[in-house]
Amino acid sequence: MHRVLFHDRPRAVGLGPIIDFYAHPSCARLSDMALSFTKIEQYVTYILYRITVAVNMDDTFLDIHDFSTPRCHEIPVLSLKPLGIGHGLVSMISNRSSIDRIGTKRYDIMFETGRHMSMEQTLSFVLVTPYTIAKSRTGGVIARLLSRVDLELVGAQMIAMDEPMAKRYADYVRTRKDFGNIKTSDLLADYALKALSPSGGRKHRTLFLLFRGIDPCTKLINTCGAIFPENRSVEMLNGETIRDTYADLITDPENPEKITYFEPAVMTPRNQHDADEGLSILGTWLDDEPNLVENIFYPNPSKIERTLVIIKPDNWRYSSAKPGSIMDMFSRTGLRIIGIKVHRMSVAEALEFYGPVRDALNEKLAPVFGRKAKEVLEDQLKVRLGSDSEKALINFVGAEFANDQFEQIIEFMSGQRPSTCPVEELSHPGSVKCMILIYEGESACQKIRDVLGPTDPLKAPGGTVRREFGSNIMVNTAHASDSVENAKREMKVLRTDKNACAEIIRSYISMRECAE
């Protein structure tokens, strides 16, 4: 019997199969990290919680057929090769009748929860320390991580530990022995207890970054770097690590064994066992934590604004330092990041978010392209068209062009055009991801937009984000709220008070426990 793992959390954003798949809320979610069968049978049918999920696999694609009837359907399995990250396509079959014709033979429950994985993908994490964040080095750290490891960033959350949680995390770190240097665990644990705990009645921001991939712990530790120089691996010698750039370890000149100052910049587990244990601790705690960190009192709170920034999908198509570099440019505003999350915008969210743009596009573009259509027709037909014809062309041809531009925006942000998206899938997480940031401080909206630059990158001044990274009016690398009122509306649409990290971790830990 094939051992394939399913999970019943359809919105666990970070736990897709070979590529992300989202079922209806009532359906089971296929959440294998990688599928590999040693023997291919003629038919395979999997059933979970009275929900049938049939998988049709061949060398190039994966068809997921989901339906809520208690009947089981046999789906031919032609052949299957071990698949890795990014291989394959997922297509939803929305026509029930086409599935019904495949067959109606009944099966007993034919799947067993367990693990049979090839090149297993797992999760690990990085904590960016309060000092690193306070020094506006967050963008540089993220740029280094995203560009140097072939891992997917599946979650991010700004957190602020209370004293009990900081102590619990420090105790966990203390028990993780680094046999390369037995002093490392105690050094990091002492640091965690002091730096992550509140001081002066105020909690401190720490950035939690969640990565998925093959052997993530080794890749992250090699990119983060060693605490002590003598622990550097061969992999760490290929360019500066994060700790080479941002960490400090100062010893007493007269007593090299005595450390007088220590700042690690980042913290990450050394192996998968430690990562799973750390994720279990953090995931349980994150369940009750807000996504926006409110840990500071401002002397003039009436002057404080919050604004929303989206680092758009074009920055996430391949491993790149761009998201971190964009954050680094925004850091010169002096504003504080109080919220962050990795998000897949649904078509419904994109429609609501960009709703105000629809009328503006129609008002701006319809007359222009309606008149262009009139000119083309007059030239081709050698006839002069009157004002009534021009109005008709504006209302039809111009309006169609404006609507097409709007659909392209929605597709760019969610991965699918509204006109091709089934109604029942409008609220499903999109196929492309972005990063949402909430900045806080005086005149936050204007400061961020000054660094962002105008909508058209070609008209943006040098030194702005869009001039540096944008391509055209649509692919312009980032969005920022243009007013406090719009920021509030946009934050509500994208539910910036919520974060999927806890759910991703919970789903992953549950999967790992079932697989053992």
Task: Tell which residue, 86, 5, 122, 121, has the closest CA to residue 431.
Answer: 86
Task: Tell which residue, 479, 516, 434, 480, has the closest CA to residue 13.
Answer: 434
- Give 31 or 124, the one with higher predicted confidence: 124
- Give 431 or 52, the one with higher predicted confidence: 431
Q: Find the mean pLDDT for residues 188-201.
A: 96
Which pLDDT value is given to residue 239? 59
For residue 69, give Cα distances in angstroms to 9, 52, 72, 73, 444: 19, 7, 8, 10, 52
- Is the model's pLDDT at 66 over the cut of 60? no
Three-state SS at 314: helix
Which pLDDT value is given to residue 58? 35
How far apart are alpha carbons 452 and 40 in whole angstroms? Answer: 53
Task: Go through the domains of the chain in sequence order and give each one's CATH number.
Answer: 1-118 (no CATH), 121-291+499-515 (3.30.70.141), 350-425 (no CATH)
Three-state SS at 441: strand
How far apart are alpha carbons 112 and 6 in whole angstroms? Answer: 9
Which two three-digit tokens encode residue 339?
């919220």
Residue of 2, 65, 73, 479 marked active site = 479
Which pLDDT value is given to residue 92? 27
How far apart are alpha carbons 310 and 344 in whole angstroms? Answer: 11
Q: Are 111 and 47 in contact (CB under 8 A)?
A: yes
For residue 418, give Cα distances in angstroms to 60, 305, 411, 476: 27, 33, 8, 21
- Is the model's pLDDT at 96 over the cut of 70? no
| Residue with tokens 């550097």, as numbered in its chain | 232
Q: Find the mean pLDDT for residues 102-122.
A: 37
Which pLDDT value is given to residue 516? 65
- Give 338 or 233, the one with higher predicted confidence: 338
- Report the DSSP beta bridge partners of residue 188: none
Q: Is 204 a catalytic residue?
A: no
- Report the DSSP beta bridge partners of residue 48: 51
Per-residue pLDDT of 143-192, as tens digits, reads 999 999 999 999 999 999 999 999 999 999 999 876 556 688 999 999 99
For residue 103, give Cα distances in angstroms to 42, 45, 66: 13, 12, 14
Residue type, position 473, single letter: I
Pairing of strands 205-214, 152-160: antiparallel
Half-sphere exposure at residue 370, Cβ-oriented, CA atoms within 13 angstroms: 23
- Is the model's pLDDT at 500 over the cut of 90? yes
Q: Find the mean pLDDT for residues 348-361.
A: 93
Task: Tell which residue, 478, 455, 134, 148, has the closest CA to residue 329.
Answer: 478
For residue 43, count other CB atoms closer than 10 A to its CB: 14
Which pLDDT value is given to residue 104? 26
Rounded to 5 degrees, what angle do the CA atoms 426, 430, 436 make?
A: 115
- Give 314 or 88, the one with higher predicted confidence: 314
- Give 476 or 6, the one with higher predicted confidence: 476
Per-residue pLDDT of 282-327, as tens digits, reads 999 999 999 999 999 898 999 999 999 999 999 999 899 999 999 9
Q: Find the mean pLDDT for residues 97-111.
A: 27
Q: What percent of the chain has pLDDT over 70?
A: 73
Task: Tell which residue, 411, 438, 427, 436, has the closest CA to residue 349.
Answer: 427
Q: Find the mean pLDDT for residues 343-351.
A: 97
**What mean pLDDT is reported for the chain?**
78
Per-residue pLDDT of 225-284, as tens digits, reads 988 765 555 555 455 899 999 999 998 999 988 899 999 999 999 999 999 999 999 999
Task: Assign 3-class secondary structure to 164-225.
Answer: HHHHHHHHHHHCCCCCCCCHHHHHHHHHHHHHCCCECCECCEEEEEEEEEECHHHHHHHHHC
pLDDT band at 34 (very low <50, low <70, confident <90, very high): very low
Which pLDDT value is given to residue 238? 54
pLDDT band at 513 (very low <50, low <70, confident <90, very high): confident
Per-residue pLDDT of 399-443, as tens digits, reads 888 899 999 999 999 999 999 999 999 999 999 999 999 999 999
Which pLDDT value is given to residue 231? 56
Rg value, the chain, Cα: 26
Which pLDDT value is given to residue 30? 33
Three-state SS at 303: helix
- Is the model's pLDDT at 7 over the cut of 90? no
Three-state SS at 193: helix
For residue 344, count other CB atoms closer than 10 A to its CB: 21
Three-state SS at 133: helix
Contacts of residue 116, Cβ cutoff 8 Å, sequence gap at least 6? 2, 3, 4, 36, 37, 38
User: Which region holds residue 265: left if phi is over 0, alpha if psi is between -120 and 50, else beta?
Assistant: left
Which two three-digit tokens encode residue 414?
């969610």
Three-state SS at 98: helix
- Is the model's pLDDT at 78 over the cut of 60? no
Residue type, position 487, single letter: A
Rounded to 5 degrees, what angle do the CA atoms 204, 155, 171 make?
A: 50
- Is the model's pLDDT at 332 over the cut of 90? yes
CB under 8 Å, gap of 24 or more: what pairs does 48-51 form? 48/6, 48/8, 48/111, 49/8, 51/26, 51/27
- Is the model's pLDDT at 397 over the cut of 80? yes
Which two three-digit tokens encode residue 146?
């995203």
How far apart are alpha carbons 36 and 3 in whole angstroms? Answer: 9
Q: What percent of the chain has pLDDT over 90?
A: 57
